[in-house]
Amino acid sequence: MEFMPAYRSAPLALLLVAALSACAAGGSTSGAGATETLPLGTTASGNFLAGLSAQRGNDPAAAAEYYGAALATDPNDSQLLLRGLAVALQDGRGDVAVDLAGRLVRQDPGNSFANLTLAVADARAGRYAETEQRLSRLRRNGPNAVLVPLLTAWARAGQQRFDQAAEALETGGSPQADISGMFQLHAGLINELGQRPEAAEASFRAATRGEAPSLRVVIAAGRFFERSGRASDAEEIYLRFNQRAADPIYLAADLARARAKGTPPPPMSRPSDGMAEAMFDLASALQSERTGDLAQIYAQMALWLKPDFPAARLLLGSLLESEQRYADANAAYAQAGSDPVYGWAAKLHIAGNLDQMGKSEEAVKVLEAMAVEQPTRIDALVRLGDLWRSKGKLPGPLPEYDHAISAYDRAIQRIGQPQQPHWSVFFSRAVVLERSGRWARAEPDLLKALELEPEQPSVLNYLGYSWADQRVHLDKALPMIERAVELRPRDGYIVDSLGWIHFRLGNLDRALGYMEQAVELRPQDPTINDHLGDVYWRVGRRTEARYQWERALRLEPEPQQVPLLKKKLEEGLPPPAE
C-alpha cells in the first residue's frame, strides 16, 4: 500500500493518542454532517495526509471525510479505522463510528476503543446484556478505571440486577477515581431507579457530604428529596451550594420550586440516560486535565445516548470554544439556551463568541436582551461594558468608551449596596473613564474598588501609577505599588509602575533596577521601554536611553506617544522640575 510508512511506524496505542490530539490553532465549521463539500483526493495517501492535516487543525468533520475517502481504498486498515473512529466520535457521527468500530473488532476483538463505542450503541438500543459483555473487554486503566464501573453498573440496572449494579460501584472504583462524589451520585440514581429509596437516600447524602459537591450532584440529590416529599431537605442542599457558588442562577429555578413545594422533574427512567451522565461526568473531569479531544468524545457519547442533555451541550460548547471553534461552540450552546439551569451561561458564551467572530452587533443584541430578561442581574451588562471597552484601542473621547460607561453605569445602578465581588465592576468602569479622559470620575471608582478589595494588585497598581504619573499623592502611591509588587512580583507592568514612581521621587538607582527588571519581564511593551529610556537619560547613560526610545518606536506605541518619543530622540529629556 503506497502510504503505509506514513502511519504504520507507531504502535496502535500511540496512534490512538495521536488520533485524539489536535493542535489548538485554527477553527472549523464542523459538526455532524455540516462539512462543506471537500476537494477529496484521488489517492489514498493524499486523502490520509489531508485528513491528518484537518485533524491537527481542529477540524474533525473534514478529517472524518478524508479518512473515510482513504478507507474506501483500503477498508480494513486498522490504523486508518482507528483514526477514522476517533474523529467520527469527536464530530458526533455515531452511525459512522459504529460501522468503523464493528470493522475494528472483527480484526481485534479486544480493542477497547471500538468495544466502548459498540457498548454505547447497544445501550442506546436497550441491549444491556450485550452492553455489559462489551464493557467486560475493556482494560480498566486510565479513564476506563472510572468509566467501566459506572457503565457496568448501569448496564446491570438495565437488566434489573440492582444488587449487582451496586456491587459494581462499591468494588469498581478507587478513592482517587471517585471525583466529587461521582460513584455515590450514580449509586443514588440507580437505587432510585430500582425503587430502593432508603439506599438512594444514603447514597445521595454521602455524595453531598463533602465540602464541595458538584452542581450535578446537588441537582440530583435535591430533586430526589423533592420527589420524596422533603422539600426542606432539598432547599437546604441548594442553599448550601449557593453559599459557596460564584453565581446562584444555576439553582434559581430548583430553589424556587422547592420553596413553593412544586412538582420536581421525574426521576431518571432509562439506564442509558445514566450512562450519558457517566460520560458527561468523565468528560467534565477530563476538561480540566487538558485532554480536550478525549473530553469531546465523551461529551459527544453522552449526547449520543441522551440528545436532550443541556449540561453536556454546555460542556461541549466550552470544549469547542477553547479550540477557537466559535461557530461550532455556539451551535452547541444554542441547544442549551432555553434550559433553566444552564441556559443563562450558554447565552453569555454565545455573545462572547459572536464578538470573537467579528459579529459584535449581534453580540450586543444578545446581551441587551439578556439585561431585559433578568432586570436584577448585572452580568450581561458587565459583559456588554467589557465588549465595548475592548473596541476602544486608543485613549480619548471615543464613542465605544461612552457605550462601555453606559453599560457599567446601568450595572452599578442595579447593585444597590456594593459587596466585595463588585470591586471588578467599579475597576472596569474606572479604566474606561481614565482612558477617555474623565479622571475626576475614574478616581472615586478606583477608590471604591480598593475599599471593596484592598489587596487587589490591579487596583493598587492602576491607582498608584495614575497618581505617580500625575505627580500627586506620591506618599500614598508608593506603598500601594510596593504591595502590588509583593502580591504579583512577576508582573512586568506592576514592576514598571514601582520603577516609575521611584523615578518621579528622584530615587534613580532604585528606579533603574525596577525598570530593567520590568523590561526583562515585558520586553515587547513600548511604554516600559520608553520609561527605561527616561531613567537611562537621567543617570547619564544617553546612548542606552536613545536605544530604548528607538526600540519603543519600533514596538508600535499608541499614536500620542510617537511625537513624544521622536522629540526625546532629538532633544533628550528636559531638566527635572524643581
* CATH number of domain containing 381: 1.25.40.10
Domain boundary among 81, 109, 137: 109
Residues 481 and 547 in one domain: yes
- pLDDT digits 0-9 by tens, 166-221: 999 886 555 444 555 889 999 999 999 999 999 999 999 999 987 788 999 999 99
> How many separate domains does the chain show?
3
Q: What is the residue range of 481's domain? A: 456-578
Domain's final residue, options 87, 109, 131: 109
Residues 553 and 479 grouped into a single domain: yes
Helix and strand tally (H, E) in the chain? 32, 0
Q: For position 578, what pLDDT does the model report?
A: 55
Q: Which residues of 204-238 are buried (b: 16+ CB within 10 A; e: fewer)?
A: bbbbbeeeebbbbbbbbbbbbbbbbeebebbbebb
What pLDDT score was predicted for residue 33?
Answer: 40
Of 417, 418, 441, nearest to 429 by C-alpha is 441
Tell me whether residue 437 is in a domain.
yes
Predicted local confidence at residue 11, as pLDDT: 32
pLDDT score for 76:
85
pTM of the model: 0.85
Query: Quick check: is 563 in a domain?
Result: yes
Same domain, 460 and 527: yes
Residue 73 lies in a domain: yes
Which has the minimum average pLDDT: 128-142, 400-414, 442-456?
128-142
Q: Is residue 27 part of a domain?
A: yes
Residues 509, 545, single domain; the answer is yes
* 467 lies in the same domain as 441: no
Residues contacting residue 406 through CB under 8 Å, at least 6 positions apart? none
* Total Cβ atoms within 10 A of residue 68: 20
Residues 504 and 552 in one domain: yes
- With 0-12 / 13-18 / 19 or more C-beta atoms within 10 angstroms meaning exposed / middle / buried, residue 38 is middle
Q: Name the least confident of 95-104, 205-214, 322-331, 477-486.
A: 205-214
Q: How far apart are CA 19 and CA 12, in angstroms?
A: 10
Query: Which one of 439, 454, 469 terminates a domain?
Result: 454
Percent of the chain whose pLDDT exceeds 70? 90
For 315, other C-beta atoms within 10 Å of its C-beta total 24
pLDDT at 31 over 60: no
Label residue 351 by pLDDT band (50, 70, 90).
very high
DSSP alpha helix (H) spans, 267-398 = 271-287, 292-305, 310-322, 326-334, 343-356, 360-373, 379-391
Residues 471 and 571 in one domain: yes
- Any residues with CB less than 8 A from the CB of 146 and at least 6 apart, and which? 173, 177, 179, 182, 282, 285
Both 561 and 524 in one domain: the answer is: yes
Give yes or no: residues 3 and 54 share one domain. yes
Within a domain: 75 = yes
Determine the residue type at 325. Answer: R
Helix (H) or strand (E) holding 518: helix 508-521
Q: Which CATH number characterizes residue 103's domain?
A: 1.25.40
Do the domain assignments include residue 231? no
pLDDT number for residue 28: 37
402 and 486 fall within a common domain: no
Residues 444 and 484 in one domain: no
In a domain, 19, yes or no: yes
- Reported as a pLDDT band with limits 50, 70 and 90, residue 15 is very low
- C-alpha dist (Å) from residue 112 to 16, 96, 276: 11, 17, 18
| 82/113 Cα distance (integer angstroms) | 8
Residues 478 and 444 in one domain: no
CA 83 and chain centroid, separation? 26
In a domain, 130, yes or no: no
